[in-house]
Amino acid sequence: MDIQGITDNRVTVNVHGGIADVRLNRADKRNALDDALFTSLAAAGEALKTLPGLRAVVLSGAGESFCAGLDFGSFKGMSQRDGKTSTIGTMVGDDAITHLAQQVCWVWQEIPVPVIAALQGHALGGGMQIALCADIRIAHPDTQLSVREVFWGLIPDMTGTLMLSHLVRPDVARKLVYTAKILKADEGHALGLVTQLSEDPLVAAQTLATEIASRSPDAVRAAKRLLTRKLRAEAAEQFAAEREEIHQLIGSANQNEAVMAYFEKRSPEFRDD
Which DSSP state fits 213?
H
Give the pLDDT score at 2: 47
User: Exposure of 273 by Cβ count < 10 A (0-12 exposed, 13-18 middle, 19+ buried)?
Assistant: exposed
Integer Cα distance of 170 and 103 in angstroms: 24
Report which of 143, 140, 106 is spatially closest to residue 124, judged by C-alpha positions: 143
Give the pLDDT score at 33: 97
Domains in the chain: ranges and CATH: 11-201+216-263 (3.90.226.10)
Integer Cα distance of 21 and 209 in angstroms: 10
pTM: 0.94
Rg (CA), the chain: 18
Which DSSP state fits 69?
S
Question: Would you say 132 and 151 are in contact if contact means Cβ atoms under 8 Å apart?
Answer: no
Q: Which residues contact 179 (CB under 8 A, 6 or more apart)?
A: 150
Per-residue pLDDT of the chain (273 residues; tens, 9 = 90+): 346 545 678 999 999 999 999 999 999 999 999 999 999 999 999 999 999 999 999 999 999 999 999 998 776 665 555 445 567 788 878 789 999 999 999 999 999 999 999 999 999 999 999 999 999 999 999 999 999 999 999 999 999 999 999 999 999 999 999 999 999 999 999 999 999 999 999 999 999 999 999 999 999 999 999 999 999 999 999 999 999 999 999 999 999 999 999 999 999 999 997
Give the pLDDT score at 95: 84
Kindly compute the dihedral angle of the four CA atoms of residues 50, 66, 189, 150, in this order, to the nearest 10 degrees: -100
Question: Would you say 134 and 59 are in contact if contact means Cβ atoms under 8 Å apart?
Answer: yes
| DSSP string covering 92-110 | SSTT-S-BHHHHHHHHHHH
Q: Which residues contact 207 (CB under 8 A, 6 or more apart)?
A: none
Question: Would you say 68 and 30 are in contact if contact means Cβ atoms under 8 Å apart?
Answer: yes
